[in-house]
Structure 1
Amino acid sequence: MDILTKDEFHVNFEDIKMQIEEGCVFIHPTDTIYGIGCDATHKDAIRKIRDIKDRHESPFSVIAPGKEWILENCHINNGAKEWINKLPGPYTLIFKLRNKGCIAANVNFDLDSLGVRIPEHWFSGAVSKLGKPIVTTSANKSGEDFMTSLDNLNPEVENNTDFILYEEEKHGRPSTIVDLTKEEPKIIRR
């Protein structure tokens, strides 16, 4: 398992892109906290994250490769437009899916909705360059504190990831979750 800096990630992007497409699982930074991720179209990689986190029932969110991806794959009502305009930012927006085939069914258990992020962070640009959504969920075992630095990363999580994209200690908190599946937006978590 490698620990990569931002510069190392960019220099080795083509190789890393191939690893992600082949199903690797990795820890990545965002504008809020560290996440554990994989290609959101790769069902085996998603299953591996579920096993690592011991989270077999709750849906995952994704980092979208751009706003265009959201517009193509999600139903956008009037209430959603204002929130999309706030992206990138520290939000997870829950949309009704228009195209269920844009992600593997085990991301959201084939539900008709999906949590979507575009963090205000350079990693969003890497996801855009990758051209496909990335699963994102806190880098921890379910029910445990989330990772803020390498010092408090659960060894079981660390040992089951292929690489860690590490910057520095994060002092953020998880993203605000906004349900946009109905006409009136509803904040679920601040």
Structure 2
Amino acid sequence: MAAELIKLYEENPEIDKIDKIVKVLKSGGVVIYPTDTVYGIGCDFSNNKAVQRVCQIKNTKPQALSFICYDLSEIAEYTRGLSTPIFKVMKKALPGPFTFILNASNSVPKVLNAKKKTVGIRVPDNNIPREIVKNLGNPIITTSIHDEDEILEYSTDPELIFEKYENLVDIVIDGGYGANVASTVVDCSQDDFEVVREGLGDINEYL
């Protein structure tokens, strides 16, 4: 069954459309959505079958996936040993174009940290995925939809994304053109700020 293309505006995402997307996610669906960087593909992070489906589409392993939280209070639930200096920097940097690698708490589904005890967490500066997470009551998986080796044009245009993925996912959200630079990945698991991947955000602005 082909995916549905749903138009949403970041400034004021329509609640009936958000509810529809949440219903699909709760039933194990996979959704492509905008962030403050590139478009992402994801599902409810607690649904193992949906997580495996995302991995098949992306040809990756669950441990390589990050997830989106609504805000910092939600992040605290899924991490442990978060020091005050790290928290203060995250509070300034989020919502924003960063993925923070943190030590995982027992609240993180085992499929996501089976072979490592860390997780990547995002709070994007985009109301669409945050409202989805807020209404779902769970974080959603996030992984960019382009190859890491080559940034393709279709990663920015939701209509081209829909053409490529309409038979692989359940919903593609058209939130306007996306950026073509991914988030900056910052490893804080050793109580320090190690930039693993340079992306759209500059962590030095918040240190």
One of 52, 56, 60 as aligned partner of 2:61: 56
> C-alpha displacement at 1:23, in angstroms?
0.6
What is residue 171 of structure 1 aligned with on the other side?
Answer: 179
Number of aligned residue pairs: 188
Q: Distance in 1 between matches of 2:28 and 2:45?
A: 9
Residues 145 and 157 of structure 1: CA distance in aligned 2, closer, same or farther (over 3 Å): farther
> C-alpha displacement at 1:57, in angstroms?
6.6
TM-score, normalised to structure 1, is 0.87
Matched, 1:88 2:104: no
Paired amino acid for 1:117:
R
Deviates most, 163-172 or 60-69: 163-172
Is the Cα contact below 8 Å between 2:37 and 2:97 reproduced in 1? yes
- 1:72 match: secondary structure: helix
What is residue 70 of structure 1 aligned with on the other side?
Answer: 75
> C-alpha displacement at 1:58, in angstroms?
5.1
Residues 19 and 151 of structure 1: CA distance in aligned 2, closer, same or farther (over 3 Å): closer
Paired amino acid for 1:161:
V
> C-alpha displacement at 1:5, in angstroms?
0.8
Deviates most, 130-139 or 147-156: 147-156
Deviates most, 83-92 or 38-47: 83-92
Q: Distance in 1 between matches of 2:78 and 2:63?
A: 21
Is the Cα contact below 8 Å between 1:40 and 1:46 reproduced in 2? yes
- 2:190 match: secondary structure: coil
Residue pairs, 1:4-43, within 5 angstroms = 4-6=6-8, 10-43=15-48
Q: Distance in 2 between matches of 1:140 and 1:114?
A: 21
One of 116, 123, 142 as aligned partner of 1:118: 123
Is the Cα contact below 8 Å between 2:8 and 2:175 reproduced in 1? yes
Residues 23 and 89 of structure 1: CA distance in aligned 2, closer, same or farther (over 3 Å): same
What is residue 127 of structure 1 aligned with on the other side?
Answer: 133
Q: Distance in 1 between matches of 2:114 and 2:40?
A: 20
Q: Distance in 2 between matches of 1:117 and 1:169?
A: 20
Provide the alpha-carbon RMSD of the alignment. Answer: 2.2
For structure 2, list consecutive stretches of 5 or more residues without a partner in the other structure.
199-207
Taking only the aligned residue pairs, the percentage that are identical comes to 27
> Over residues 58-77 of structure 1, what are the superposed CA-to-partner deviations in whole Å (9 max), with x where a residue is unaligned?
51000013211111220212
